[in-house]
């Protein structure tokens, strides 16, 4: 720790969905207080979001994850915590980041997970990549914390016939996995930072996995709730267990490259399988895998209730994700 009262934290990915939530959480945190540096590619250091953080006291450092490791290590020297919220297509670049953290003597590295609870290998292609990074961290004996958060509230709701909540929905149609009766853990994307700020300043979470989720719901509960609150009837497009199994088999037979249209078309079957059919994304399974639960560590910390999120969506006040992104062409 560089000063008596502040932990020095570096965050990579602060312009992204997860990273911007983490930045807001770090800025708002008082216990502990953080001295924050945003790590960004040289081409991104002047993005408006980063300039805005700069006004709030955040330092900005340009990094090149493909550049010389000693230059990266020099930038990371004396940081207590380095958090990565890198995008899904760039996850493997964290090997260089982890190596540089090790060389710099960083106190704790938080690789980019921030997702659902999934078995370590063989179920979800994105988790497989994240586990490769986690294995690398362990191989080089780098202090770490793994944080997972469940499924974002912000990608759960179906369209309403009136179109009034389209602004808050991702640019693809929702489907119900199987019968829609499997509970899955959910968190508002805006709360990821509040959880993360608490977890990375806590000595109890060093070299541990933490599951920070807010609520458990089934898809049928979500569809019933939005119908009740809106007074509108939604289309219930169920994908059968057989079709999910077929999609999973196709995904397994295909070498999926993250970020390609094929990836988005097939990886969704793996998600439906893990959280909709297998029911992996639940606290009991997380505990079985060795996770600590944020609800146990911080009973005072309450995420936004799902009901409140729905009301904000209907009132036109919600945060929509993936704006301007096309997934399937």
Residue positions annotated with a catalytic role: 130
Going through the chain in order, the beta strands assigned E by DSSP cover 6-12, 33-40, 59-62, 81-84, 108-110, 145-148, 151-152, 176-177, 184-187, 208-211, 215-217, 238-239, 292-293
Instruction: Out of 149, 168, 176, 194, name the contact with ligand NAP by CB under 6 A.
Output: 149
> How many of the chain's residues bind ligand NAP (CB under 6 A)?
28
Distances (CA, A) of 58 to 24, 45, 179: 11, 12, 47
Which among 83-91, 136-144, 201-209, 294-302 is the span making contact with ligand NAP, rule CB under 6 A? Answer: 83-91
Q: Does 152 bind ligand NAP (CB under 6 A)?
A: yes
Q: Does 90 bind ligand NAP (CB under 6 A)?
A: yes
Report the C-alpha gap between 118 and 248 in whole angstroms: 15
- In the block, which residue shows the tokens 């077929």? 246
CB 137 within 8 A of CB 98: yes
Report the C-alpha gap between 78 and 74 in whole angstroms: 9
Q: Does 115 bind ligand NAP (CB under 6 A)?
A: yes
Which among 2-10, 84-92, 170-178, 248-256 is the span making contact with ligand NAP, rule CB under 6 A? Answer: 84-92
Q: Does 40 bind ligand NAP (CB under 6 A)?
A: yes
Eight-state DSSP code of residue 200 = T
Q: Does 112 bind ligand NAP (CB under 6 A)?
A: yes
Query: Buried b vs exposed e over 224-252: b needs ≥16 C-beta within 10 Å?
Result: eebeeebeeebeeeebeeeebeebbeebe
Q: Closest Cα to residue 133, out of 105, 112, 103?
A: 112
Which among 39-47, 137-145, 210-218, 288-296 is the span making contact with ligand NAP, rule CB under 6 A? Answer: 39-47
Rg, C-alpha atoms of the chain = 20
x-marked contacts with ligand NAP along 244-283 as a string, rule CB under 6 A? ----------------------------------------
Residue facing ligand NAP at closest CB distance: 16
Least distance (Å) from ligand NAP to the CB of residue 3? 26
Which among 81-89, 101-109, 165-173, 203-211 is the span making contact with ligand NAP, rule CB under 6 A? Answer: 81-89
- Return residues touching ligand NAP (CB under 6 A): 12-19, 40-41, 44, 47, 65, 85-88, 90, 93, 112, 114-116, 126, 149, 151-152, 155
């Amino acid at each position: 720790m560089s000063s008596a009262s502040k932990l020095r934290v570096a965050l990579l990915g602060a312009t992204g969905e997860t990273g911007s939530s983490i930045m807001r959480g770090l800025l708002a945190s008082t216990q502990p207080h953080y001295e924050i540096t945003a790590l960004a590619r040289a081409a991104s250091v002047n993005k408006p979001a980063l300039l805005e953080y700069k006004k709030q006291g955040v330092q900005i450092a340009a990094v090149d994850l493909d550049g010389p490791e000693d230059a990266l290590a020099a930038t990371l020297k004396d940081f207590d915590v380095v958090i990565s919220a890198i995008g899904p297509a760039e996850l493997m670049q964290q090997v260089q980041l982890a190596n540089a953290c090790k060389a710099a003597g960083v106190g704790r590295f938080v690789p980019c997970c921030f997702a659902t609870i999934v078995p370590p290998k063989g179920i979800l292609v994105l988790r497989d990549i994240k586990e490769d990074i986690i294995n690398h961290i362990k191989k080089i004996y780098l202090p770490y914390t793994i944080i997972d958060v469940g499924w974002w509230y912000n990608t759960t709701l179906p369209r309403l016939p009136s179109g009034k909540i389209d602004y808050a929905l991702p640019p693809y149609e929702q489907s119900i996995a199987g019968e829609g009766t499997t509970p899955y853990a959910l968190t508002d994307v805006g709360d990821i930072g509040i959880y993360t700020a608490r977890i990375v300043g806590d000595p109890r979470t060093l070299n541990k996995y933490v599951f920070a989720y807010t609520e458990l719901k089934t898809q049928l509960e979500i569809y019933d709730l939005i119908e009740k609150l809106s007074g509108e009837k939604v289309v219930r497009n169920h994908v059968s267990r057989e079709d999910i199994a077929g999609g999973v088999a196709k995904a397994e037979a295909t070498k999926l490259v993250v970020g390609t249209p094929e990836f988005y078309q097939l990886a969704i079957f793996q998600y439906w399988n893990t959280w909709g059919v297998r029911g992996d994304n639940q606290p009991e399974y997380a505990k079985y895998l060795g996770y600590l639960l944020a609800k146990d560590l911080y009973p005072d910390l309450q995420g936004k209730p799902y009901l409140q999120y729905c009301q904000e969506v209907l009132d036109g006040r919600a945060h929509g994700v993936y704006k301007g992104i096309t997934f399937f062409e």
